[in-house]
Structure 1
Amino acid sequence: MYEYAKLFIGGEWWVPSTGEMTEVISPHTEQPIARVAAPAPADVDRAVAAARRAFDEGPWPRLDPAERIRIVRDLARRYQERVDEVAQVVTAEMGAPITFSRSAHARLPGVMMRALADLAETYPWQETRPGFYGTGILVRSHPVGVVGAVTPWNMPMLMVVAKLIPALLAGCTIVLKPSPETPLDAYLMAELIEQSEVPPGVVSILPGDRAVGEYLVAHPGIDKVSFTGSTAAGRQVAAACGAALKRVGLELGGKSAAVVLDDADPAAVAAGVQVAGLMNSGQACVAQTRILVPRRRAPEFVDALAAMVDELSVGDPFDEDTRIGPMVSDRQRERVRGYIEQGITAGARIVTGGEAPPEGLDKGWYVRPTLFTEVESGMGIAQEEIFGPVLTVLEYADTDDAVRLADDTAYGLSGSVWTTDADRGLAVAGRIRAGTFGINQAYSMDPHAPFGGVKASGIGREFGREGLAQYLETQSISGFD
């Protein structure tokens, strides 16, 4: 049983203003695994005040970028020493299969930290340009200010790193609000920050509920909000930031398509979709759960996909053979089951899976991985983000029809194209409105590649040089020469 009775505010541990604690429940056993401090608005006020002082008066924004980069590299080194612990913690708190936790939840954030520090070393923090009127122009990048960051439960440590590290490299101070479902990895990061050279006041971490997040987003001491979560919540965040003219970055939902061209190999597509569509037990915003297949070859691809889904091991997330773990909460499990029922009612056909719980699992928030065919694009299971192990197969007539179907959604976060002709795949990718795309693979979360969506999938980018720029303001000075 983990227990954290204090909150990490401005680099120090504080008893929460209310003294209340919340329980963290294992998605596998349905039993408590931790008790953590519950923040309230007064704790947000304290954290924002500390961040405000550290930004307005402290050394962090005024350090040479090279010094901030050095401190972030040291933080990355400390993180690497505890990477195995991160994997164990994330699997315990959100039920991700341990093999996925090791690679994506634990190792990838460490890779991102080092890669983002590399990018910062080459970033043009200051440059001169010839002015149109004959005098020089000096262009400088300055930190945007105090950042309020809200991160989700599905990729908890990765999303903390995605916001924390660029903010630190830019010279910002930050108040992080991780999800209350997955607070334990955030506490681990707080311990690493405490041991690092990051100055007092620069970082606060308050795992809180929706009300705490809303209070943080609307707080007058916050200059920029970075939010990852649902599209519905993102609209509320955007409205609050718009009213206050705050900078805002939104990484929201997705309903991504895997476009299978008529020259693709069914076995290769099925193996790829296992990752692209069912990573993290389907609880991923980039999950490509709409599988678009050519009508004349549809039976081949459906058979290959069904065989893949049938072979997936569902169960204890700490078992090395498990590929599909539990949903993060009972509410999430019921949401996914509801969509399966909705698909049946709408007339789609289940090839494998369904509403019944997985065999032998009478405890834990499990859902059988499910494959639908005979799906029409207007059905809810083809339009709405399910966030669980549910795949839908849609048939298309030709390439133009495939592109139309891929774009026939409010979202535009990710996607992929599967083909033996990479040039043909690249041409198709360029026709689809999505912020990230893969050819014969899911989007790879390369730290040098900007990540984000279009349409209802968000505003702005994370990772890459573009992600760092989201935490910077640009100042131009003329007449200096």
Structure 2
Amino acid sequence: MTSTAVGVEIVPSFVQDAWWTPEGEVAGTDVRDASTGAVIAKVSTEGLDLAAVVEHGRTVGQAGLGKLTFHQRALKLKELAQYLNGRREALYELSHRTGATKIDNLIDVDGGIGVLFTFGSKGRRELPNAQVIVDGPAERLAKDGSFVGEHIYTRIPGVAVQINAFNFPIWGMLEKFAPAFIAGVPTIVKPATPTGYVAAAAVKFIIESNILPAGSLQLVSGSARDLLDHLDYRDAVSFTGSAGTANMLKAHPNVARGGVRFTSEADSLNAAILGPDAVPGTPEFDAFVKSLVTEMTAKAGQKCTSIRRAIVPRAVVDDVVAAVGARINERVVVGDPRAEGVTMGALASLEQLADVRAAVQSMLDAGGELAYGTLDSPQAKQADGAVGVVEDGAFMSPLLLTWADADADAVHSLEAFGPVSSVIGYEDLDDAVRLAAKGAGSLVATVATNDPAVAQQLVTGIAAHHGRVLVLNREDAKTSTGHGSPVPHLIHGGPGRAGGGEELGGIRSVLHHMQRTAIQGSPNMLTAVTGVWHTGADQNFGDVHPFRKSLYELKIGDAFRSELRQVTLKDITAFANETGDTFYAHTNQEAAAANPFFPGIVAHGYLLLSWAAGLFVSPEPGPVLANYGLDDARFITPVAAGDSIRVTITAKKITPRETDEYGEVAWDTVLTNQNDEIVATYDVLTLVAK
């Protein structure tokens, strides 16, 4: 083991908008290069005032983020992603010290930056340019419409404490930070010690960019044992790590009784199931083997989503083992990631290596058999090109185990968090589902089959035990993001042993950092709170047609009501003939009258919508640039020949675009007949110049 280096720098924390390290000489914790064992840094938070860190986030961070809308925060994430994109090489170089290969860096560094890009886009496309999110339609609570209720989301008033694992120092940080930032909640990052220096380097670039508001991101590099002591119901904790640590944190009084929001993503014994149709020689068999080897060796198997249990038909266990061994022999080169040709690096630390070896030995003692690989130190390629056993490096051979007893407790309860997987045989599909469920809750499972019936039975059988299921076949084998790659658009998490939490999932993860509240009041008051016009609220029928107003002149509640237009049988017949829509309700008096919904021949719904556009449109060039659709169209009262219709439109929702000279306006649109009965309702969507 390389001795402690003299004069090694301490990884700094970034707190209260300044870089911080302990004063004077401190012992600290050594951080070593995973491949060489050389001490490269120390970690210590001795003397750090964590209560002040939390308070800074709650005050300065909340104030700065509170000045921005969802769209403005999303644009800052896009800008930050672009800035970090130009600094990837520096992060790659540093990350090699953790044992990460070039491919591993694409997952961690590029993947983390990709999360920022994704949320920067989704935040602008799927959220209002506001600070309140309306959840669902309003509920009418009084017959006359004077009292209504609905649900809204507003940001929590505290901080988001994000405790991350050692395996993904960049992606793990940014996938938690991005949705919290969109929601408007300040982040306190606590990275794991072995790789926290990489996270600190990324934070350094983020701070240098000067893109984020003050207080919106803080970094604690080192121990934060009393951090939860300073949190309360205003705050949220998002944890990634071992189930044991997650359970300890859940038991903290401020979590158990104090109302701190707590979500965890813990270790899990993820499964991949090979369908009975996916025999050797099929594309599904080949894709399964490729996926299994990838998950065993990417990040040296140090992924919470890695395949730990390959559940295959009993008759092909030997075929799977042979194919996996052949692919490893052909493609996997263990060594220092800085050496040319290396495809699998070291584990993150010697402590991690010892833990993985001990877990494997326990599995062997419990009935597992080593079908591929060795527990001895492997031949590893070094940065200088030399090949040999390196005692100071945390290198390990990929290991594949088999089990005579598919129900052995150890294979379903022990996780070796490294390049280790087990192959177990099943009898039939029900048995495969049962074995997958013995993992007691997992983050992800793969089903490899080209048989739709097999896919249906396996997926519905295991879905409730998993947070994500990948169906792998010949159609998506080349385009699939893979078993072990969470994507920002879909949730990452799982039930039971996997922690019971959810991260990512697009806007769902933003809402995790917000409080859903039921609000009740008059339409005018709910309009004021939400910025969205509610039926029954005041309308402004001014002298100027609302379509003549620019986006900045237009106000919520600006409205227009047309004159009546009469519908004739000649109009209905002409529309039917012109469009080819000769449905009997529009063409056959006797058949239409026999229909319980119609009084006889009635006008087409789309004829009424077309006429409505003619009734409310202001035809001359003006601020309204385009109509780009309708939402929630409903036909309520049929319109017969001789009836008349009029339309009322009201500016319901105004969404300026931050980067364009126009924005979106949704118009509440109501068609009524001569008796003021509602004929149809919908929202007209337009683009309006600023």
Asked whether the 8 Å contact 2:313–2:426 carries over to 1, the reply is: yes
Residues 106-156 of structure 1, C-alpha deviation per residue, up to 9 Å, x if partnerless?
111111111012222213643373214143335332112211110110111
Match of 1:230 in 2: 242
1:455 is the counterpart of 2:496: yes
1:193 partnered with 2:206: yes
Tell me, yes or no, if structure 1 residue 53 matches structure 2 residue 64: no
Per the TM alignment, residue 479 of structure 1 is displaced from its structure 2 partner at its CA by: 1.3
1:307-337: CA deviation from partner (whole Å, max 9, x where unpaired): 1233321111223422222111111111111
The answer on whether the counterparts of 1:350 and 1:373 sit within 8 Å (CA) in structure 2 is yes
Moved more, 59-68 or 455-464: 59-68
Does 2:453 align with 1:431?
A: no
Q: Secondary structure in 2 aligned to 1:289?
A: strand
Task: Find out whether 1:415 has 2:421 as its counterpart.
Answer: no
Residues 51-450 of structure 1 mapped to structure 2, 5 A cutoff: 51-55=57-61, 58-92=63-97, 94-101=98-105, 103-121=106-124, 122-123=126-127, 125-127=132-134, 129-133=137-141, 134=145, 135-144=147-156, 145-194=158-207, 195-209=209-223, 212=224, 214-220=225-231, 223-240=235-252, 241-264=255-278, 265=282, 266-311=285-330, 312-359=332-379, 360-363=388-391, 364-376=393-405, 377-421=407-451, 424-432=454-462, 433-440=465-472, 441-450=482-491
User: Partner of 2:521 in structure 1?
Assistant: 479
TM-score, normalised with respect to structure 1: 0.92
Higher RCO structure (Cα 8 Å, ≥6 apart) = 1
Structure 2 contact 11–41 (Cα < 8 Å) conserved = no
- CA distance, structure 1, for counterparts of residue 403 and residue 151 of structure 2: 56
1:343–1:379 CA contact under 8 A, matched in 2: no
Shift, 1:291, TM fit: 0.6
Relative to the length of structure 2, the TM-score reads 0.65
* Deviation of the 1:231 alpha carbon: 0.6
Instruction: Kindly state the Cα deviation for residue 392 of structure 1 after the two structures are TM-superposed.
Output: 0.6
Greater mean alpha carbon deviation, residues 420-429 or residues 322-331: 420-429
Unaligned runs of 5+ in 2: 1-6, 380-387, 473-481, 524-690
Would the aligned equivalents of 1:340 and 1:354 in 2 still touch at CA under 8 Å?
A: no
Matched residue of 1:394: which SS?
strand
Q: Distance in 2 between matches of 1:476 and 1:350?
A: 57
Task: Give me the whole-angstrom Cα distance separating, in 1, the residues matched to 2:61 and 2:517.
Answer: 18
Task: Encode CA deviations 1:199-232: one digit per residue, 9 max, x unaligned.
Answer: 22221101213xx1x3112323661111111111
Provide the rounded CA distance (Å) in 2 between the counterparts of 1:268 and 1:423: 19
1:279 CA drift (Å):
2.3
Cα 1:473–1:17 change in 2 (3 A) is farther
Q: Which moved more, 1:320-329 or 1:130-139?
A: 130-139
Q: Which amino acid aligns with 2:229?
A: A
Whether the 8 Å contact between 1:416 and 1:439 is mirrored in structure 2 is: yes
Bigger Cα Rg: 2
Q: Deviations over 1:53-108 (max 9, x none)?
A: 2255x23124222221122221111111112222222221x21222221x101111
| Bigger shift: residues 176-185 or 419-428 | 419-428
Shift in Å, 1:270: 1.3
For the residues of structure 1 that align with 2:317 and 2:436, how far apart are their CA atoms? 17
Do the aligned partners of 2:442 and 2:467 also contact (CA within 8 Å) in 1?
A: yes
Instruction: List per-residue Cα deviations over 1:216-268 (Å, max 9, x = no partner).
Output: 12323661111111111111122221221111111111101110111223433
For residues 196 and 443 of structure 1, the distance between their equivalents in structure 2, rounded to whole angstroms, comes to 34
Structure-2 change in CA distance of 1:59 and 1:340 (3 Å): closer
Residue 71 of structure 2 aligns with an amino acid whose one-letter code is A
Alignment RMSD (CA, Å): 2.2
Partner residue of 1:31 out of 35, 38, 48: 38
Segment drifting more, 307-316 vs 75-84? 307-316
Counterpart residue identity of residue 304, structure 2: C
**Could you say which structure has the higher helix fraction?**
1
Residues 403 and 45 of structure 1: CA distance in aligned 2, closer, same or farther (over 3 Å): same
Query: For 1:473, what is the secondary structure of its paired residue?
Result: strand
For 2:311 and 2:296, locate their aligned partners in 1 and report how far apart those are by CA, in whole Å: 12
- Would the alpha carbon gap of residues 422 and 318 (structure 1) be closer, same or farther in structure 2, given more than 3 Å must change? farther
In structure 2, how many angstroms separate the alpha carbons of the residues matched to 1:443 and 1:180? 23
Cα shift at 1:281: 0.8
